[in-house]
Amino acid sequence: MIKTVEAATAVKNETVVAGAASTFGKIGTVTAAATLYVALDTHGTHYSRADWRVKCNKSHSYQLFRARTNVLSGTVVLTDATAVDADDTFVFNGLTFTYKATANASDASRYIDLGANNGEAATNTAALLSNATYGIPGLTSAASVAGTGIDTITLVSGTNTALQFAQGTSASNEVAWSSTTLASLIEHSSLVTGKAANTTTSGYSVEQYVDGWPFCFIAITNNDGSDAATVVVGATPY
């Protein structure tokens, strides 16, 4: 009896969905105690599972989630009481944005026109963050709404796979970031703790069942008490 041998299934190409080399999930380091949320788009193809690859050089924990849309989101708040100043900066997904006087404003340099007041600065901030060329890659929208003494810019994600803010040279009472991602995530696993720092391999693999869900997520928390973590997350749906 002649036995047939099935050909091995080729491993699909991995996408780096969070890391310094990523296009739509470019990030800096993850500060101590901070959580990074990473998305994987699994809609449009009949994927059944996804393999996450996580590499982190500090002790950390992770948890899996799913959602029906890309729910990476948050708000940037500018307060009139402590208005931003010329040359104040903040960083989104590894890109530095700088406030400048009107004469020095330039989209190509990611300079934001301060305008005559914080309200105008907020409007200009929203416009640049959502700029198709110089804004956050993959972001769907950034909308500014004026309040009493504050202006709130709400970010909505599209094809971006991470949404990471860093303070830069601005003060947190001038430019304040608040992530709203967690509130829209549906838990798909318990929190996995006690993951050791990894500096010797390319990371470890975490399997997640897709089961028709359009988006899968992994949240990674840096458990180091004082130091920032370098994190790389790859994803392979199949």
In this structure, what DSSP letter does residue 226 have?
A: S
For residues 50 and 58, the answer to whether their CB atoms sit within 8 Å is no
Tell me the pairing of strands 165-166 and 175-179.
unpaired
pLDDT 10s digits, 119-134: 999 999 999 999 999 9
Residue 39 has a pLDDT of: 98
pLDDT 10s digits, 177-231: 999 999 999 999 999 999 999 999 999 999 999 999 999 999 999 999 999 999 9
Is pLDDT larger for residue 19 or for residue 46? 19
Q: Where are the domains of the chain?
A: 56-71+184-237, 76-180
The answer on pLDDT for 11 being more than 50 is yes
DSSP3 helix / strand / coil % (the chain, rounded to 5): 10, 45, 50
Q: Report the distance separating Cα 25 and Cα 138, nearest Å.
A: 9
Tell me the pairing of strands 95-100 and 231-237.
unpaired
Which residue from 219, 204, 211 is spatially nearest to 237, judged by alpha carbons? 211
Q: State whether the Cα torsion 61-65-70-76 is positive or negative.
A: negative
Task: Give the largest Cα separation in the chain, rounded.
Answer: 85
Tokens read off for 52: 């996450």
Q: Report the distance separating Cα 144 and Cα 155, nearest Å.
A: 9
